[in-house]
Amino acid sequence: MSPLAEALHAIGLTHTAGELDDLVALATKRRWGPTQILEHVAEAEQRERAKRSLDRRVRSSKLGGFKPIADFDWAWPKRIDRDVVEAALKLDFLDEARNIVIVAPQGLGKTMIAQNISHAALLAGHSALFITAAQMLLDLGAQESVRALDRRFRYYTSRSLLCIDEIGYLSYDARNADLLFQVVSRRYERRSLVLTTNLAFSDWPTIFPNASCTTALIDRVVHHAEIIAIEGESYRRREAEAVKSSRRSKPKA
């Protein structure tokens, strides 16, 4: 690395330092003056830093791979409010610390929608975390001290958007209900939640059968929330049946 490149790297212009030879060649070819060179450097550094910031947020979000909303089959569910889903993807609810709750049976794309909302938040410059209810409660329940538990609460409440997937697939004891209540309460009217569940709110007591906080938990979730209800048959069941039908129709060798 040349002395100039080292100096640029030392003051934080890492992209320019790495591309210095190309920059000099481009500036010479286009006969740029000092102002044009500085404008190019500033724009390139901003783009690179925005990309690195997005990469960091995506990694820490635990979002993983997912299907884009463009692949969503809007014609398949018997009931879905597309306008409400698309409004959620525009993230207006974040500014008002409102929640999005997606209620649907298994296999109708509620997780896919939640993942796309989370991804949209990341692209818009927000921090986000995507996690299943089981993973989050297992993590919180494993903390062995009050201080350690408080650190994990801060972890789950510090993100601009927290998406808790699959509430309702397992039943939990009263302690887990209290832990979830704490997360919801600490974010209440401060930061947004996206929740997915396969159960209507009237059935949530079956998730936490011995908990006294279930009513208060539901109240805080729905108070400032848009409820997206999806009804219909499972996509995955349809795909499985299509594969099975295709195999049956193939001639035997």
Q: Is the pLDDT of residue 243 over 60?
A: no
Mean of the per-residue pLDDT values for the chain? 92
**Domains (range + CATH), the chain:** 3-61 (no CATH), 69-238 (3.40.50.300)
The pTM assigned to this predicted structure is: 0.84
| pLDDT score at 209 | 84
* CA distance readout (Å), 6 to 15, 48, 86, 170, 252: 12, 18, 47, 55, 68
Encode pLDDT of 133-189 as tens digits: 999 999 999 999 999 999 999 999 999 999 999 999 888 999 999 999 999 999 999
Cβ neighbors of 44 (< 8 A, separation 6 or more) are 15, 16, 19
Q: Is 176 exposed, middle or buried (0-12, 13-18, 19+ CB in 10 A)?
A: buried
Task: Read off the pLDDT of each residue in 6-19 and give the average, rounded to a whole number.
Answer: 94
C-alpha dihedral (200, 203, 209, 215), degrees to nearest 10:
70
| pLDDT score at 242 | 57
| pLDDT over 90, % of the chain | 82
Cβ neighbors of 164 (< 8 A, separation 6 or more) are 131, 132, 133, 136, 180, 183, 193, 194, 195, 196
Q: Is the pLDDT of residue 78 over 70?
A: yes
